Amino acid sequence: MPEHDVLIIGAGLAGQRAAVAAAREGVSVAIMSKVHPVRSHSVAAAGGINAAISPQDDWRSHAFDTVKGSDYLGDQDAIEIMCKEAPGEVMHLEHIGVTFHRNEHGELDLRPFGGASMNRTAYVADITGQAMLHVLYEQLMKHSSTVERFEEWFTTSLIIDDDGACVGAVARDVRSGRMETFIAKNVILATGGCGQAYLPTTNGLIVTGDGMALAYRAGAPLMDMEMVQYHPTCLVDHGFLITEGARGEGAHLVNKEGERFMGRYAPNKLELASRDVVSRAEQTEINEGRGVGPGGRGVYLDITVVPRKRTLEALREIVNIGRDFAGVDITREPIVIRPGQHYIMGGVKTDADGRTPVTGLYAAGEVACVSVHGGNRLGANSLLDTLIFGRRSGEHAAARARAIAMPAVSDAALHRDTEMIEEIVARPHTGRRIGEIKLELGTTMNDHVAVFRDEQGLTRAHEVVLRLREEAQTAAIDDRGTVFNQDVLGAIELGYMLDCAETIVVAALERKESRGAQYRTDYPERNDAEWLKHIDISRGGDDRPKVSYSPVTITQWQPEERKY
């Protein structure tokens, strides 16, 4: 059984940053991912990373914008840490090789972004996430003697000892089908979000909420799960993302009547209001019959107002996406977009060092909820979140590892998970297909747990999710093999997604107000007196979600009305 001081599950930006940070502290590190690290969904982050690095800027301004963006649900102590440490982190990335765009003085260029009071977003064209992820992977290759990589290993469960501490994980080598117990003094979850519980979504097929479900099953609470971000600019059919950088560079949103409608919703920031505000505005235009495209299901994003040379240089990827997936030359004509599921602000509850309430278990990045995003994340704050809290988790876990002994772990969990997989492989072909269940889950969530929500729709979604949980128990698979049996992994992932979906729906039903991404048409006002608090969801003994609350930390910014 492999033993490590720090085991990191997930190798996107948060996981890789944690690995490099922990290795630097001189402890033994393993990083495990169900895909090759550069396939992680951080690769799709386009627009950039926020940091107050301009001499005219101040981290407090960044922090205030983030607090306001969160609709005051973000924990201000954690937000202060993130924004204060942001410039140093961006410089570190620059030093290890990220090819950030420069201004004419050779310094990092900064572009405007949604919800930000000044230009604060450093970027690499519109492939910022890809550039960062690949540069961090360069660092993993460089440190290959100190960071052991387990690429294409799928985690089936966390191991919890008798005292309730996390002491490792069970995983399956996707290539060989071999099961293995990984003993670790600390485990850091960095598995990203759960966007595949929605359809369509901007998220990749691998984004199935693995870490959230693993933690939830291990007894860790999930927080702010009702806060699901709909990105304002996604392709109507596929749900592919058009970066917020497009609006940062000056693109307009236009309705059927040719009106640049954001003036009615956010008179000051217009298209660069926060994402929840812009998505609601678009959805209102669509619902009120001012949409465009087939069925009036979208609105125009007009990038032709950006100089063509600038678009080709700084928005190259969406030029490709427009051409390849919508047949539109975005430099010459508007493209039809709509809001689409993109990100979840909620996740495994952690403190600012990434610690969850389960001893020895950390979480960082989208899987975690620190909470720095509260009710709504600002664009270009997620890359920052992954790096700051990835690094802090790695450092803290390394320090903790030095103080404790390697735990002794039995192979009970290994046997249980091996049997679980054998049971799935042996299922008779009587149940529904996994793909059908996933399709019903995704469309249900997108219909009822989206930009606008109400009691009736949420209750309906809850019923569907509970029924699908039952059906998933007997979902049949075709692949009986061991080498790259993606079918059996799909069955396990379906269970992870359903756990996440259930907690999302339960939290959204619970919060009877409108704040950030949660807009209840039956409770359309923000209600600070009753709901300025986090909803925590833990797994009860009956395998049903148990709701509790925790306070929001306020340091220097009292809640006020939110206008853009």
The residues annotated as belonging to the active site are 275
Nearer to another protein, 430 or 558 (CB): 430
Interface with another protein in residues 115-134 (CB under 8 A):
124-125, 127, 130-131, 134
Smallest distance from another protein to CB 208, Å = 10
As measured in angstroms, the least distance from the Cβ of 150 to another protein is 12
Looking at the Cβ atoms of 142 and 264, the one nearer to another protein is 142
Q: What beta strand segments (E) does 311-441 contain?
A: 335-344, 347-349, 361-363, 368-369
Binding of residue 105 to another protein (CB under 8 A):
yes
Is 259 among the residues that bind another protein (CB under 8 A)?
A: no
- CB 51 to another protein: min, Å: 11
One-letter amino acid for residue 202 of the chain? T
Half-sphere exposure of 471 (CA within 13 A, CB side): 18
By the rule CB under 8 A, 423 interacts with another protein: no
3-state secondary structure 479-520: CCCCCCCHHHHHHHHHHHHHHHHHHHHHHHHHCCCCECCECE
* Site for another protein, residues 4 to 23, rule: CB under 8 A: none
Nearer CB in complex with another protein: 58/107: 107
Q: What does DSSP assign to residue 535?
A: E
Q: Give 108 or 254: the residue with its C-beta nearer to another protein.
A: 108
- Asked whether the beta carbons of 343 and 382 are under 8 A apart, the reply is yes
x/- site string to another protein, residues 485 to 504, per CB under 8 A? xxx--x--------------
Counting residues that bind another protein (by CB under 8 A) gives 77
State in angstroms the smallest separation of the CB of 421 from another protein.
Answer: 15
What binding mask, one character per residue, do residues 21-60 give for another protein by CB under 8 A, x or -?
--------------xx-xxxx-xx--------x-------
Closest approach of Cβ 133 to another protein, in Å? 10
Task: Tell me how crowded residue 439 is: count the other CB atoms within 10 A of its CB.
Answer: 12
Of 282, 317, 417, 499, the one binding another protein (CB under 8 A) is: 317
The reply on whether position 260 binds another protein by CB under 8 A is no
Segment contacting another protein by CB under 8 A, of 57-65, 305-313, 531-539, 550-558: 305-313
Tokens for 304, please give them.
Answer: 């032709």
Nearer to another protein, 133 or 187 (CB): 133
Min separation Cβ 38 and another protein, Å: 6
- Taking the least distance from each CB to another protein, the nearer of 74 and 192 is 192
495 with 213: CB under 8 angstroms? yes
Site stretch for another protein (CB under 8 A), options 271-279, 314-322, 497-505, 543-551: 314-322
CA distance 338 to 233: 5
Is residue 539 near another protein by the rule CB under 8 A? no
Residue-wise DSSP of 408-447: P--SHHHHHHHHHHHHHHT--TTS-BHHHHHHHHHHHHHH
Please identify which residue in 178, 416, 423, 484 interacts with another protein, judged by CB under 8 A.
Answer: 484
> Which position among 26, 175, 287, 456 is part of the footprint of another protein (CB under 8 A)?
175
Query: Do 195 and 203 meet the contact criterion of CB atoms below 8 Å apart?
Result: yes
Closer to another protein at the Cβ: 255 or 485? 485
Alpha carbons 334 and 302: distance in angstroms, whole number: 4
Per CB under 8 A, the segment of 324-332, 334-342, 366-374, 400-408 that binds another protein is 324-332
**Chain-centroid distance, C-alpha 50:** 16
- Cβ closer to another protein: 35 or 147? 35
Q: Site mask, another protein, residues 76-95, x = CB under 8 A?
A: ---------------x--xx
Q: Residue 170, CB half-sphere, CA atoms under 13 Å: how many?
A: 22
In the complex, what is the shortest distance from the CB of residue 30 to another protein, in angstroms, rounded to a whole number? Answer: 17
Amino acid symbol at 140: L
Q: Which residues are 183's β-sheet partners?
A: 3, 168
Identify the CA nearest to 452 among candidates 271, 267, 286: 286
Between CA 360 and CA 140, with CA 188 as vertex, the angle to 5 degrees is: 135
Q: How far is the CB of 505 from another protein (least distance, A)?
A: 24
Q: Could you tell me the smallest distance in angstroms from the CB atom of residue 206 to another protein?
A: 5
Decide: is 443 part of the binding site for another protein (CB under 8 A): no
> Using an 8 Å Cβ cutoff, are 514 and 375 in contact?
no
293 binds another protein (CB under 8 A): no
Q: Determine the interface stretch with another protein among 21-29, 106-114, 396-404, 411-419 (rule: CB under 8 A).
A: 106-114
Instruction: Report yes or no: 218 and 212 within 8 Å, Cβ to Cβ.
Output: no
**By CB under 8 A, what part of segment 329-368 binds another protein?**
329, 331
Q: Which long-range contacts (CB under 8 A, 24 or more apart) does 420-424 make?
A: 420/156, 421/156, 421/172, 421/179, 421/488, 421/492, 424/477, 424/488, 424/491, 424/492
248-283 as b/e: b if 16+ CB within 10 A: bbbbbbbbbeeeebbeebbeebbbbbbbbbbbbbbb
Among 320, 456, 459, 555, binds another protein (CB under 8 A): 320
- Window 195 to 254, contacts with another protein (CB under 8 A): 204-207, 238, 240-241
For CA atoms 548, 554, 560, 564, give the dihedral sign: negative
Q: Which is nearer to another protein, 39 or 290 (CB)?
A: 39
Binding to another protein, residues 263-292 (CB under 8 A)? none
466 belongs to the binding site for another protein (CB under 8 A): no
Using the rule CB under 8 A, give the single segment among 17-25, 396-404, 475-483, 505-513 that binds another protein.
Answer: 475-483
User: Which helix (H) or strand (E) covers residue 310, if one does?
Assistant: helix 308-314
Give, as one character, the DSSP assignment of residue 285.
H
CB of residue 75 to another protein, shortest distance in Å: 29
Distance of CA 142 to CAs 24, 89, 137, 247, Å?
12, 19, 8, 37
